[in-house]
């Protein structure tokens, strides 16, 4: 099988998304891109994450053609593929239906820098214009709103995050959801104080050498 290690990672992180409460049922999708070979491994459409097997992962090329696999790829496959076409810094993408991030997506409100950890995604998280799931329009809206950032909310839908690998993409999902929860709770009490752009630029620099997520 092509991309055997990547298949294992996708299965494992798919289960983790559900077990840690970042999505439910078959909601969401994950992919990894092998830039050297020009191949994307992506989770299949409509299969529970705990039922997905390594052989169910679909391998596609940059033209959107299936080169290995007998399952349908995620209906959002183009939303993943366009990130790999447009962003050289992204080789893994996760889309999930996190609770607090989706609350903001439904309000169509961006997540400002009320907590410094938002720097894992950028100085803030924007909301992409609404489009039906699985459409090229949604993919185009997402890649536009995610410029200079590593995460975006999809209006009335969920979150999309990208990084150099699945470990870091998952970390972005995790931290953005935490920041979204803190922001929503703080808004219920008062008006959160937003950190200035200069502080977020400093955080972005410091995060380049922070921790073990290489």
Is the Cβ–Cβ distance between 65 and 44 less than 8 Å? no
Could you give the C-alpha distances from 136 to 75, 144, 154, in angstroms and in order?
Answer: 10, 12, 13
The side-by-side arrangement of strands in the sheet containing 58-61 is: 66-68, 58-61, 39-42, 29-34, 92-96, 158-163, 151-154, 127-128
DSSP 147-210: TTSSEEEETTTEEEEEESSHHHHHHHHHHHHHHHHHHHHHHHHS-PPPPPHHHHHHHHHHHTTS
Using CA atoms in the order 46, 15, 21, 140, what is the torsion angle rounded to 10 degrees?
-50
- What the block records as the tokens of 134 is 């699985």
Q: Which of 6, 20, 68, 76 is catalytic?
A: 76
DSSP state of 72: P
**Is 198 annotated in the active site?**
no
Q: What is the CA radius of gyration of the chain?
A: 17
Catalytic machinery residues: 76
């Amino acid at each position: 099988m092509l991309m055997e290690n990547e298949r294992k990672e996708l299965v494992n992180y798919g289960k983790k998304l559900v077990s840690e409460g970042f999505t439910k049922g078959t909601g969401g999708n994950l992919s990894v891109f092998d830039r050297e070979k020009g191949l994307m491994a992506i989770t299949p459409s409509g299969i529970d994450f705990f039922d997905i097997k390594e052989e169910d992962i679909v391998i596609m090329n940059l033209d959107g053609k299936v080169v290995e696999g007998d399952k349908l790829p995620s209906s959002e496959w183009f939303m993943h593929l366009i990130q790999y076409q447009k962003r050289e810094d992204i080789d893994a993408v996760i889309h999930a239906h996190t609770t607090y991030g989706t609350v903001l997506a439904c309000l169509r409100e961006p997540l400002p820098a009320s907590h410094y950890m938002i720097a894992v995604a950028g100085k803030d998280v924007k909301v992409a214009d609404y489009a039906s799931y699985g459409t090229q329009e949604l993919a185009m809206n997402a890649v536009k709103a995610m410029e200079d950032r590593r995460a975006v909310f999809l209006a009335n839908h969920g979150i999309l995050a990208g990084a150099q690998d699945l470990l870091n993409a998952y970390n972005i999902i995790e931290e953005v959801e935490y920041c979204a929860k803190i922001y929503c709770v703080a808004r219920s009490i008062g008006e959160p104080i937003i950190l200035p752009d200069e502080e977020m630029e400093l955080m972005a620099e410091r995060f380049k050498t922070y921790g073990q997520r290489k």
